[in-house]
Chain A
Amino acid sequence: MKKKSIFTLCACLAVCLALLWLLQALLMPKYMGSVKEGALIGEYYDNAGNNDVVFIGDCEVYENFSPITMWEEYGITSIIRGSPQQLIWQSYYLMEETFQYETPKVMVFNVLSMKYDTPQSTGDQTQREAYNRMTLDGMRWSGSKWNSIQASMTEEEKQWQGQWSYLFPLLRYHDRWSQLTGEDFQYLFKKDQVSDNGYLMQTGVKPFEDEHIQPPLVDYTFGENSYYYLDKMVELCKQHGTQLVLIKAPSLYPVWWDEWDQQMVEYAEKHGLLYVNLLEKQEEIGIDWSQDTYDAGLHLNVYGAEKLASYFGKILVEECGVADHRGDAEISTVWAEKVKTYYQRKEALQAQS
Chain B
Amino acid sequence: MQITSFGFLLFAAVLLVAYYLIPKKGQWILLLAASYCFYLWAGIEYLGFILLTTVSTYAATMAMAANQEKQAKYLAENKQTLSREERKAYKAKGKRVNRVYLIACLVLNFGILAVCKALLIEPFKAAASAGTFSFLSLGLPLGISFYMFQSMGYAVDVYRQTCAAEKNPLKLALFVSFFPQLIQGPISKFGQLAPQLYSPKKFDGKQLSFGLQRMLWGYFKKLVIADRIAAAVITLRGPEHTGVSFFILTVFYAVQIYGDFTGGIDVTVGLAQALGIKLPENFIRPYFSKNIAEYWRRWHISLGEWMKDYIFYPISVSQPMLKLSKAARKNLGAFGKRLPVYVASIATWFVTGIWHGLTPNFVLWGMLNCFFIVLSEECSGLYEKFHGRFHLKEKKWYGGFEIARMFILMNLIRIVDLFPNVGDYFSRIGSLFTKFNFHVLWDGTMMKLGLTALDYIILAGGIVLMFTISLIQEKKGSIRELLWQKNPVVRYALIFALLVIVLLMGNYGVGYNASAFIYNAF
| Bind each other | yes
Task: Give me the interface of A with B, judged by CB distance under 8 Å.
Answer: 5, 8-9, 12, 16, 19-20, 23, 126, 129, 156-157, 159-162, 164-165, 170-172, 174-175, 177-178
Also in contact, A174 and B509, with CB within 8 A (given A160-B5, A160-B514, A161-B6): yes
A16 near B492: Cβ-Cβ < 8 Å:
yes
A172 near B496: Cβ-Cβ < 8 Å:
no
Q: Which residues of B contact A160 (CB under 8 A)?
A: 5-6, 508-510, 514
Partner of A171 from the list B10, B500, B509 (CB cut-off 8 Å) is B509
* Alpha-carbon gap, A177 to B247, bound state (A): 33
Q: Which residues of B contact A129 (CB under 8 A)?
A: 510
A161 near B5: Cβ-Cβ < 8 Å:
yes
B510 near A156: Cβ-Cβ < 8 Å:
yes
Within 8 A of A (CB), among B490-522: 492-493, 496, 499-500, 503-506, 508-511, 514
A288 to chain B, nearest CB (A): 43
Interchain Cβ contacts under 8 Å between A and B, 27 examples:
A8-B488, A8-B489, A9-B488, A12-B496, A16-B499, A19-B500, A20-B503, A23-B503, A23-B504, A157-B510, A160-B5, A160-B6, A160-B510, A160-B514, A161-B6, A161-B7, A162-B509, A164-B7, A164-B10, A165-B510, A171-B6, A174-B503, A174-B504, A174-B506, A174-B509, A175-B504, A175-B511
B504 near A177: Cβ-Cβ < 8 Å:
yes
* Alpha-carbon gap, A179 to B506, bound state (A): 16
A61 to chain B, nearest CB (A): 27
Q: Which residues of B contact A12 (CB under 8 A)?
A: 488-489, 492-493, 496
Q: Which residues of A contact B511 (CB under 8 A)?
A: 126, 175
Q: Does B130 contact A (CB under 8 A)?
A: no
* Alpha-carbon gap, A159 to B1, bound state (A): 10
Within 8 A of A (CB), among B467-494: 488-489, 492-493
The winner among B6, B510, B511, B514 for most chain A CB atoms within 10 A is B510
User: Chain A interface mostly helix, strand, loop or mixed?
Assistant: helix
* Alpha-carbon gap, A160 to B5, bound state (A): 7
* Alpha-carbon gap, A19 to B492, bound state (A): 13
Q: Which 6 A-B pairs have the closest CB atoms?
A: A164-B6, A12-B492, A161-B6, A16-B496, A8-B488, A161-B7
Also in contact, A178 and B454, with CB within 8 A (given A8-B489, A161-B6): yes
B190 to chain A, nearest CB (A): 35
B48 to chain A, nearest CB (A): 25
* Alpha-carbon gap, A160 to B489, bound state (A): 34
A119 to chain B, nearest CB (A): 13
Least CB separation from B4: chain A residue: A160
Least CB separation from B503: chain A residue: A174
* Alpha-carbon gap, A171 to B499, bound state (A): 12
Q: Which residues of A contact B489 (CB under 8 A)?
A: 8, 12
Partner of B503 from the list A156, A161, A162, A170 (CB cut-off 8 Å) is A170
B87 to chain A, nearest CB (A): 61
* Alpha-carbon gap, A19 to B500, bound state (A): 10
B510 near A162: Cβ-Cβ < 8 Å:
yes
A28 to chain B, nearest CB (A): 13
B509 near A165: Cβ-Cβ < 8 Å:
yes
Q: Which residues of A contact B506 (CB under 8 A)?
A: 174
Q: Which residues of A contact B504 (CB under 8 A)?
A: 23, 174-175, 177
Least CB separation from A173: chain B residue: B509
* Alpha-carbon gap, A20 to B504, bound state (A): 11
Q: Which residues of A contact B514 (CB under 8 A)?
A: 159-160
* Alpha-carbon gap, A175 to B509, bound state (A): 10
B17 to chain A, nearest CB (A): 15
* Alpha-carbon gap, A12 to B494, bound state (A): 11
Q: Which residues of A contact B454 (CB under 8 A)?
A: 178
Q: Which residues of B contact A164 (CB under 8 A)?
A: 6-7, 10
Q: Which residues of A contact B10 (CB under 8 A)?
A: 164
* Alpha-carbon gap, A54 to B504, bound state (A): 39
Given A159-B514, A174-B509, output 5 extra A-B contacts at Cβ < 8 Å: A23-B503, A161-B6, A174-B505, A174-B508, A175-B504
B491 to chain A, nearest CB (A): 9
* Alpha-carbon gap, A63 to B489, bound state (A): 52
B487 to chain A, nearest CB (A): 9
* Alpha-carbon gap, A16 to B491, bound state (A): 13
* Alpha-carbon gap, A175 to B5, bound state (A): 17
* Alpha-carbon gap, A20 to B499, bound state (A): 10
* Alpha-carbon gap, A170 to B509, bound state (A): 10
Partner of A19 from the list B5, B488, B496, B509 (CB cut-off 8 Å) is B496
Q: Which residues of A contact B488 (CB under 8 A)?
A: 5, 8-9, 12
Q: Which residues of A contact B6 (CB under 8 A)?
A: 160-161, 164-165, 171
* Alpha-carbon gap, A172 to B508, bound state (A): 9
The winner among B5, B7, B492, B509 for most chain A CB atoms within 10 A is B509
Least CB separation from A172: chain B residue: B509
* Alpha-carbon gap, A175 to B455, bound state (A): 11
B503 near A172: Cβ-Cβ < 8 Å:
no
B223 to chain A, nearest CB (A): 10
* Alpha-carbon gap, A164 to B506, bound state (A): 16
Within 8 A of A (CB), among B159-183: none
* Alpha-carbon gap, A174 to B506, bound state (A): 8
Q: Which residues of A contact B503 (CB under 8 A)?
A: 20, 23, 170-171, 174
* Alpha-carbon gap, A73 to B415, bound state (A): 75
B131 to chain A, nearest CB (A): 29
Q: Which residues of B contact A19 (CB under 8 A)?
A: 496, 500
Q: Which residues of A contact B510 (CB under 8 A)?
A: 129, 156-157, 160, 162, 165, 172
* Alpha-carbon gap, A19 to B496, bound state (A): 10
* Alpha-carbon gap, A12 to B509, bound state (A): 27
Partner of A23 from the list B500, B505, B509 (CB cut-off 8 Å) is B500
* Alpha-carbon gap, A302 to B273, bound state (A): 64
* Alpha-carbon gap, A246 to B6, bound state (A): 40
* Alpha-carbon gap, A132 to B367, bound state (A): 52
* Alpha-carbon gap, A26 to B71, bound state (A): 73
B418 to chain A, nearest CB (A): 25
* Alpha-carbon gap, A23 to B496, bound state (A): 13
Q: Which residues of A contact B5 (CB under 8 A)?
A: 160-161
* Alpha-carbon gap, A126 to B510, bound state (A): 9
* Alpha-carbon gap, A126 to B512, bound state (A): 11
Residues 2-17 of chain B, each 1 if its beta carbon lies under 8 Å from chain A, else 0? 0001110010000000
Q: Which residues of A contact B7 (CB under 8 A)?
A: 161, 164
Q: Which residues of A contact B493 (CB under 8 A)?
A: 12
* Alpha-carbon gap, A177 to B506, bound state (A): 12
Least CB separation from B506: chain A residue: A174
Least CB separation from A158: chain B residue: B510
A239 to chain B, nearest CB (A): 35
* Alpha-carbon gap, A161 to B7, bound state (A): 7
Least CB separation from B10: chain A residue: A164
* Alpha-carbon gap, A161 to B500, bound state (A): 20
B113 to chain A, nearest CB (A): 28
Q: Which residues of B contact A5 (CB under 8 A)?
A: 488
Least CB separation from A167: chain B residue: B6
Q: Which residues of B contact A177 (CB under 8 A)?
A: 504
B175 to chain A, nearest CB (A): 30
A321 to chain B, nearest CB (A): 46
